C-alpha cells in the first residue's frame, strides 16, 4: 500500500491539498490506459461546460485531473471484485460521473442537510448545517453489494448559487480524526466570482475531499442567515454499475 503523502506528491507540488482524515496508507492501482481515457473524457466534458459559465472556477478545477485519476485507482482497488471503468457504465464495470444530488444523498436516510433530489438546503441562522454528516452520524458513501461508490469533491469546489452566501465558519472532521476546530473564509466571499452571474465560491483550505464507504466524514457550517440556499459541489462520483444503472430518484 502506498503512503498517502507519496501518492499525492504531484498534487501537493501544484498547491492541491487532499484531506484524508487519519489515513496514512491507501490501497491503489494505476488505471489502465483505456480507463484513463474514460476518466479524462468525463472530467473534460464537465470542465468544458464549466468554462462557459465560470472560467475562474474552471481554472481552479482543471489542475485536479491527476487527483481524479488517483482516487479512481484507489476506489477500484478497494472493491471486493476487480472491475474496469467504462463510459457509460455497464454490467460488470465501474462508472464515473460529475456529482449530482442523488449521488450524495443516495438514500433518504443518508445524513446530510441536503433535501432529497436537490442541491438545496433549508438553513436557520445559528443552527449548524451539514454538507456531509449530521452532527452525530458520519457520512459514508454507498456500501451496498454491487453498488459501492466513492466521492471526490474538488479543492475549492463548493459553490453557492442565486443568493447571498450564508456561511463563513466551516468544520471538517472524520472518523479517527476529530481534533480539528473550525476554519473561516474571508468575508468578501459574498462578492460574485463572475461578473453578472450569481455564483459564489467558497475556498476549501483543507483541500479536496475524497469520501469512501469504509470511513465517514463530518463537514458542516454555521449559517449566518436563514433561508433556502443552493449549494453545489464540484467533483466526481465513482461507482459500481448497479449504483446508477438507471435514472435515480430518492
pLDDT value of position 192:
59
Report how far residue 9's alpha carbon sits from residue 11's, in angstroms, rounded to the nearest whole number. 5
- Identify which of 249, 233, 230, 201 has the alpha carbon closest to the alpha carbon of residue 120: 230
Report how far residue 60's alpha carbon sits from residue 250's, in angstroms, rounded to the nearest whole number. 31
pLDDT value of position 247:
97
pLDDT value of position 3:
82
What are the CA-CA distances from residue 215 to residues 24, 100, 177, 210, 218 (Å)? Answer: 13, 21, 11, 11, 11
pLDDT value of position 211:
98
Report how far residue 238's alpha carbon sits from residue 247's, in angstroms, rounded to the nearest whole number. 16
Classify residue 8 by its DSSP letter. T
**Where would I find the beta strands (DSSP E) of 31-118?**
94-98
Q: What are phi and psi of 47, to 5 degrees?
A: -65, -40
Domain ranges of the chain: 4-241
Residue with cell 472530467: 43
Please state the pTM of the whole predicted model: 0.96
The pLDDT tens digits along the chain (250 residues) read 778 888 999 999 999 999 999 999 999 999 999 999 999 999 999 999 999 999 999 999 999 999 999 999 999 999 999 999 999 999 999 999 999 999 999 999 999 999 999 999 999 999 999 999 999 999 999 999 999 999 999 999 999 998 788 999 999 999 999 999 999 987 665 555 666 678 899 999 999 999 999 999 999 999 999 999 999 999 999 999 999 999 999 9
Amino acid at each position: 500500500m502506498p503512503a498517502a503523502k507519496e501518492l499525492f506528491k504531484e498534487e501537493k507540488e501544484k498547491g492541491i491539498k487532499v484531506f484524508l482524515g487519519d489515513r496514512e496508507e491507501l490501497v491503489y492501482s494505476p488505471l489502465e490506459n483505456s480507463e484513463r481515457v474514460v476518466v479524462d473524457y468525463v472530467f473534460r466534458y464537465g470542465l468544458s461546460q464549466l468554462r462557459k459559465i465560470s472560467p475562474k472556477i474552471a481554472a481552479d478545477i482543471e489542475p485536479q485531473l491527476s487527483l481524479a485519476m488517483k482516487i479512481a485507482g484507489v476506489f477500484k482497488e478497494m472493491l471486493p471484485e476487480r472491475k474496469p471503468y467504462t463510459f457509460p457504465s455497464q454490467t460488470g464495470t465501474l462508472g464515473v460521473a460529475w456529482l449530482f444530488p442523488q449521488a450524495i444523498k443516495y438514500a433518504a436516510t443518508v445524513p446530510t442537510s441536503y433535501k432529497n433530489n436537490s442541491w438545496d438546503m433549508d438553513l436557520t441562522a445559528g443552527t449548524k448545517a451539514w454538507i456531509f454528516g449530521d452532527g452525530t452520524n458520519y457520512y459514508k458513501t454507498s456500501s451496498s453489494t454491487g453498488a459501492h461508490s466513492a466521492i471526490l469533491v474538488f479543492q475549492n469546489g463548493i459553490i453557492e448559487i442565486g443568493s447571498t452566501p450564508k456561511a463563513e465558519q466551516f468544520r471538517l472532521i472524520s472518523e479517527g480524526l476529530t481534533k480539528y476546530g473550525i476554519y473561516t473564509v474571508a468575508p468578501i466571499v459574498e462578492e460574485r466570482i463572475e461578473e453578472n452571474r450569481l455564483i459564489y465560491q467558497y475556498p476549501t483550505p483543507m483541500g479536496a475531499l475524497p469520501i469512501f464507504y469504509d470511513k465517514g466524514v463530518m463537514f458542516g457550517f454555521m449559517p449566518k442567515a436563514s433561508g433556502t440556499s443552493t449549494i453545489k459541489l464540484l467533483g466526481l462520483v465513482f461507482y459500481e454499475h448497479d449504483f446508477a444503472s438507471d435514472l435515480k430518484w430518492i
